[in-house]
Amino acid sequence: MVQTPPRVLTVAGSDSGGGAGIQADLKTMLAHGVHGMSVIAAVTAQNSLGVQGYWELPAEAVRAQFRSVVDDIGVQAIKTGMLASPNLVAVVAELLGEVRVPVVVDPVASSKHGDTLLANDALETLRTRLLPVSTLVTPNLYEVELLTGHKVRERADMRGAAEAMLGFGPDWVLVKGGHLEGEAADLLFDGTDERWFTSPRYDNRHTHGTGCTLASAIASRLALGDTVPDAVAAAKEYVTGAIRAGFPLGEGIGPVDHAWRWRDGF
């Protein structure tokens, strides 16, 4: 008898270039052997050079997609990405409050090229509505500073950043230190258990989609039954390989390679 794989839902924006957003999420989920599903919250016009524009979907469209999937198919884990506006953040937080599965929040604030993807007036809604219903939040250092005012200049500052993020109510926070010099070190913290995950830094500029990919990999591992620390460890190993194998695409920054494990065997 054919077994149904674990189901993981992404609530995020669409990346027309295929390197980040919904597209990266679904590729990552496939690579982890889970069934990926999507709620599209925004559509971007995006390529290797940047984001040329984005358009939010109406709240009722987001709500309808979520209810359609969750009520019929069910879900074992959820990942959120680009939500853009206070209204979308609030609607998604309300929907997430109705389910009892792990929720991984990637608080997407800008693209790899620096294009803004989160309105300033959405920050407070994210802090007060979305983070309290999350199992794990995965901010980079720019997002930490936006949300907490805590500037991380070196690895020693990351513990304070994690504590500040936990103040908003998530169960765990993973502060990503990839923008610091030296090895790529991320800190996972729940207020008591502090764990560091490190990896080599590869000289590869093609890193579009790293945040989406990491969060989706964690959600996939949680759906497969991992604990949060084990899920982060497995996801870190996966995204490190994807960064190493990132390839040129177009005239700008190419994507990480979500299929690197398959290609290694080709």
The active-site residue out of 27, 36, 148, 212 is 212
Name residue 147's beta-bridge partners.
Answer: none
Q: Is 178 part of the annotated catalytic residue set?
A: no
Q: Is 207 part of the annotated catalytic residue set?
A: yes
Q: What are phi and psi of 237, to 5 degrees?
A: -65, -40
The active-site residue out of 80, 135, 210, 240 is 210
Distance of CA 203 to the CA centre of its chain: 23
The active-site residue out of 17, 18, 211, 254 is 211
The active-site residue out of 28, 176, 240, 254 is 176
Q: Is 80 part of the annotated catalytic residue set?
A: no
CB 28 within 8 A of CB 19: no
Q: Which two tokens stand for residue 108?
A: 């997407």
The active-site residue out of 209, 241, 246, 254 is 209
Sheet of strand 50-56: strand arrangement: 50-56, 35-47, 7-15, 77-80, 103-105, 136-137, 172-176, 184-189, 194-199
Spatial CB neighbours of 45, under 8 Å, sequence gap ≥ 6 = 16, 51, 52, 53, 54
Q: Is 176 part of the annotated catalytic residue set?
A: yes
The active-site residue out of 10, 44, 207, 240 is 207
Q: Which two tokens stand for residue 43?
A: 């559509």
Active site residues: 176, 207, 209-212
